[in-house]
Amino acid sequence: MHRVRFRDPAGAVRMGEWNDESVHFGRGSYTLDEVDILPPSAPSKIVCIGLNYTAHAEESGEEIPDRPLLFLKGPNAVAGHGDTIPLLAGKDRIDYEAELGVVIGEQCRNVSRERAMDVVEGFTCVNDVSNRDDQFDERNWIRGKAFDGAAPIGPVVAGPDEVPADASVRARVNGELRQEGTRDDLIFPVPELIEEITTYLTLESGDVIATGTPAGVGPLSDGDTVEIEVEGIGKLTNTVATE
């Protein structure tokens, strides 16, 4: 089942089921034109993983890390399916990054990799939008990674069993395929990431782990349409506009 968070015609926020071109809630259903699709969770934080695909590390001129590289995006960065991604004014390069997102289902700390999937609600699509101008000039990546709207997620949460172990992860810009990798290309798979992250910090229900991006990252421009597609989940689609 694909769970979707939406605002109904009366303005109430609901959790329902996404089925083809409609949303089901209780005994009723709505067409997608009748509702606003919201981010599938309201995370207290998004924990992002850097350089978790060998090919992306190589295209970035970086060595493969010996442990997961972690950084954070706050709730201000969250955007939903159909939202407009803001391009910061005066920046030369802001990139898309297609990623598999892990949605946490319960508060957890010190979770072993053997038990890690017990705390996973499901998976979603993430676009780790990145301001390279500032990212390459700072150590903590706040300006580069955590600006408003820099973490579109959605459109749904798919159950863990709905996303294959070798699920494809793709990005398209204006219909052109730019990135393609698979879940089993991850240097550090999901259970290892959860173990490492929860060694240091508590994950809350609704938090998201963005597991890293395949090779092929590139710039976004005003007016672009970017699609992040993960097999078993669907497509996260956003337009792009310069502030």
In this structure, are 51 and 147 located in the same domain? Answer: yes
115 and 184 Cβ atoms separated by less than 8 Å: no
Distances (CA, A) of 99 to 39, 108, 111, 163, 220: 15, 23, 23, 13, 16
CA distance 147 to 239: 17
| Whether 32 and 47 share a structural domain | no
Q: What is the CATH number of the domain that holds 209?
A: 3.90.850.10
Identify the residue whose tokens are 């699920």.
Answer: 167
Range of the domain at 32: 1-37
Q: pLDDT per residue over 174-230, tens digit each?
A: 999 999 999 999 999 999 999 999 999 999 999 999 999 999 999 999 999 999 999
Extract the residue ranges of the chain whose pLDDT is less than 50: none
| The predicted structure's pLDDT at residue 243 | 86
Domain match, 71 and 184 both:
yes
Tens digits of residue pLDDT in 64-74 = 999 999 999 99
CA distance 17 to 159: 12
Identify the H or E element spanning 29. Answer: strand 28-31
pLDDT (0 to 100) of residue 82:
97
Measured CA to CA, the distance from residue 156 to residue 3 in angstroms comes to 5
- In this structure, how many other beta carbons lie within 10 angstroms of the beta carbon of residue 174? 12
